[in-house]
Amino acid sequence: MITSLPRTDWLERERAHQARADALTAEHRERAARGEKHPVWDFLFTYYSYKPAQLRRWHPGAGIELEHAPERLTWRWYSPGRTEDGAIPDAAVFAREKADLAGLVERMLRRTASRPGQFGCFGLHEWAMVYRADEHRHPVPLRLGQAGTDLVVESHDLRCTHFDAFRFFTPEAVPRNRTELTRDDQPLFEQPGCLHAGMDLYKWAVKLGPLVPGDLLLDAFELARDIRLLDMQAAPYDLAPWGIVPVPIETAEGKADYVRQQRVFAERGTRLRSELLHAWLGSTEPAAVAS
């Protein structure tokens, strides 16, 4: 059954969404206006490359009709609704125009959801990215120095399951990982305990565009923001000048703190993953996905 939103209703929801989005991006926009970089938070807008303006764009979600919305009929993946000048985000049109992307997103969401979380990586992917390296991705000093950082890597088992972290490992760190990951095999290894799999829910939500309700998009962004903080707290960098308190995963206490937070994020990610599938496809029931 198609749900319809009167124009006054959806315009109010749009305004509320824009206000929430603006609040979430205010500090980043202020820093950008000053030309100021931030080693933790810029990642949300550079690695994912989605601008604050994209977060402000509100959609009702797939199958929800906006009454009296002729302006939306010029937007991509909107189709005419049942009412005069009504517009509705059309999942079928998206599936036809973006078949490969639709298949990839569904595979990633469903397959990740089908696996148990793994919680023994301790965020060592960031350490593996600077292992025995003269130059680092972030121009920030290492908290334990190069020798101390290398020793942490060498005294642990690298268990990274996320290709987009693994691909930044230094050449010396690559063979230390339990599995050599590839882009083609990414759907086979992604699992819900991975911090980056949780952050990537924001990426999938943006790629689905108008099929994702605005509040769900911002929930995914907030999860990515919160995970990013732990990701860098557990990293080898000295981020004290930016007020970042480390989670020292080289210690037993730090490992326990990391896993405790990791489990909370995994639970939040599991809920959002299910909500994304339900909002987009109208069902949370497991289904066979093409390989």
Does 163 reside within a domain? no
Task: Specify if 25 maps to a domain.
Answer: yes
Q: Taking the CA atoms of the chain, what radius of gyration do you get in angstroms?
A: 21
**Structural domains of the chain, count:** 1
Task: Answer whether residue 285 shows pLDDT above 70.
Answer: no
176 domain residue, yes or no: no
Contact criterion met (CB below 8 Å) for 278 and 271: no
148 located within any domain: no
Say how far apart CA 243 and CA 193 lie, in whole Å: 26
- Asked, for residue 91, whether it belongs to a domain, the answer is yes
CA–CA gap between residue 242 and residue 250 (Å, rounded): 21
Does a structural domain hold residue 211?
yes
User: Which token pair is 32?
Assistant: 């950008």
| C-alpha span between 247 and 134 (Å, rounded) | 24
The pLDDT, as a whole number, for residue 134 is 87
Q: What is the mean pLDDT of the segment spanning 4-31?
A: 97
In a domain, 8, yes or no: yes
Q: Which domain range does residue 256 map to?
A: 3-119+184-281
pLDDT score, position 138: 79
Mean pLDDT on 228-247: 97
Tell me the pLDDT band of 1, cut-offs 50, 70 and 90. Answer: low
Q: Report whether pLDDT(286) > 50.
A: no
Written as one letter, the residue type at 152 is V
- Say if 63 falls within a structural domain: yes
Q: What is the tens place of the pLDDT at every residue in 62-85?
A: 999 999 999 999 999 999 999 899
Q: What is the pLDDT of residues 86-134, one digit of tens each?
A: 999 999 999 999 999 999 999 999 999 999 999 999 999 999 999 999 8
Q: Average the pLDDT over 262-278 and give the result.
A: 97
- For the segment 25-42, what is each residue's pLDDT rounded down to a tens digit? 999 999 999 999 999 999
Average predicted confidence (pLDDT) for the chain: 94
Distance CA 244, CA 239 (A): 5
pLDDT at position 139, please?
Answer: 84
